[in-house]
Structure 1
Amino acid sequence: MQKLKVAANWGQNLRFEFLLSCWNDDPALQTVIKKLLAKYPQWEIAIVDGVLVD
């Protein structure tokens, strides 16, 4: 969670694999990840039918 918060504040690009592991491990983090992806479209990661896609 801390790494996601830092990324949100600084725009640090997180690896797809890390986001995917967070996405699968904790449903509460899905909301945080959705907000990050909306804020940073340049990361080129999307959510399609509830699944992260690189």
Structure 2
Amino acid sequence: MSNLRPERMQKLKVAANSGQNPAFDFLLSYWNDDPMLVIAIKKLLAKFPQWGVVIVNEVLVDWNE
């Protein structure tokens, strides 16, 4: 378990509550860090498809790039 998980989960919760895209690089930096963060990111992406970030074969992809 990452000792940074609570801080990172809080940042993801802020993004979920505000609907503001935290940026692809931000999400990618957490993607391989911790399985719980991956779950949180998957939920965020399902909630906000307009961000243009998708998961393809368990890899984050910026659809806009």
Letter in 2 for 1:25: D
Equivalent in the alignment of 2:21: 13
- Give the equivalent residue in structure 2 for 1:34: 42
Please report how far the alpha carbon of residue 48 of structure 1 lies from its aligned counterpart in structure 2 after TM superposition. Answer: 0.4
TM-score of the aligned structures, taking structure 1 as reference length: 0.93
Considering fraction of residues, name the structure with more helix. Answer: 1
Q: RMSD across aligned C-alpha pairs, in angstroms?
A: 0.7
Counting matched residue pairs gives: 54
Whose radius of gyration is greater, 1 or 2? 2
Residue 52 of structure 1 is matched in structure 2 by: 60
User: Any idea what SS the aligned residue of 2:32 has?
Assistant: helix
- Ranges in structure 1 where 5+ consecutive residues have no aligned partner: none
- Percent identity over the alignment is 72
Deviation at 1:24, TM superposition (A): 1.2
Amino acid at match of 1:28: M
> Structure 2 length as normaliser, TM-score?
0.79
SS class of match (1:52): strand
